[in-house]
A and B are shown apart, each in its own frame.
Chain A
Amino acid sequence: GNSVTQMEGPVTLSEEAFLTINCTYTATGYPSLFWYVQYPGEGLQLLLKATKADDKGSNKGFEATYRKETTSFHLEKGSVQVSDSAVYFCALSSSSNTGKLIFGQGTTLQVKP
């Protein structure tokens, strides 16, 4: 069945460091891929998405590229800030477009000043 695997956390970085959070997936067909973010005390928010191979999603300085050949959707940011501290979830929605999201286990990012 469909599944998403994220790198284990927590990830601790200093402010202005480069961030990569790895995400790989298993799915049939051509899923859509998402990154959601959960700030402390808040609900999940969509950060970015990509709906087909080689698409790049971007938002708030974060980027991720849909790589079908490696079944990956790694999240990157060139310079993290303390305000980026949150839990990040990679997710997919199957090509059957039912809307159901399958999430990875989440990666906690802590950015220190």
Chain B
Amino acid sequence: EAGVAQSPRYKIIEKRQSVAFWCNPISGHATLYWYQQILGQGPKLLIQFQNNGVVDDSQLPKDRFSAERLKGVDSTLKIQPAKLEDSAVYLCASSLSSWNTEAFFGQGTRLTVV
């Protein structure tokens, strides 16, 4: 069974530039999560989708971050404009449903903002 796919693996951008990350969850998984993991900290949820609807985006900095999951399958997370403090690993995860909390994680995208 294919796992959660993320791209790119690494990205370096200058502050004030924009960047987008892509995630393809495990086939059949209705719930998709984006987490931000700052160095030395545990992952923090940014946004959760159930199919193509948003369940929780309370921790998403909406002035600069946006995410979509238009067809209820793959998802894109965008940052515009980026700040230095956005340097982190962005993890995508999926689960069968929000009630089945065994989440499977991708390898993440490491973003460095300079």
Contacts and interface: CB of A to CB of B under 8 A. Distances in A.
Interface in A63-113: 89, 91, 93, 97-106
Chain A contact residues: helix, strand, loop or mixed = strand
A42 B107 CA distance: 6
A38 to B, nearest CB: 9
28 contacts: A4-B42, A34-B101, A36-B105, A42-B107, A43-B3, A43-B107, A44-B43, A44-B91, A44-B105, A45-B105, A49-B102, A89-B42, A91-B42, A97-B98, A97-B99, A98-B48, A99-B48, A99-B99, A99-B100, A99-B101, A100-B48, A100-B56, A101-B45, A102-B45, A103-B42, A103-B44, A105-B40, A106-B42
Considering the complex of A and B, which 3 residue pairs feature the smallest CB-CB distances, nearest first? A103-B42, A99-B98, A44-B105
A43 B106 contact: yes
Contacts of B107: 41-43
Nearest to B92: A43
Interface residues of A, number: 24
A103 B102 CA distance: 14
A32 interface: yes
Given A43-B91, A44-B91, A93 B43 contact: no
A86 to B, nearest CB: 14
Nearest to B108: A43
Interface of B: 3-4, 31, 33, 35, 40-45, 48, 55-56, 91, 93, 95, 97-108
Contacts of A46: 102-104
Interface string A29-51: 00010101000011111100100
Given A4-B42, A103-B43, A43 B105 contact: yes
A101 B102 contact: no
Contact of B101 (A44, A45, A101, A104): A101
Contacts of A49: 102
B71 to A, nearest CB: 20
A46 B105 CA distance: 9
B103 A105 contact: no
Contacts of A41: 107
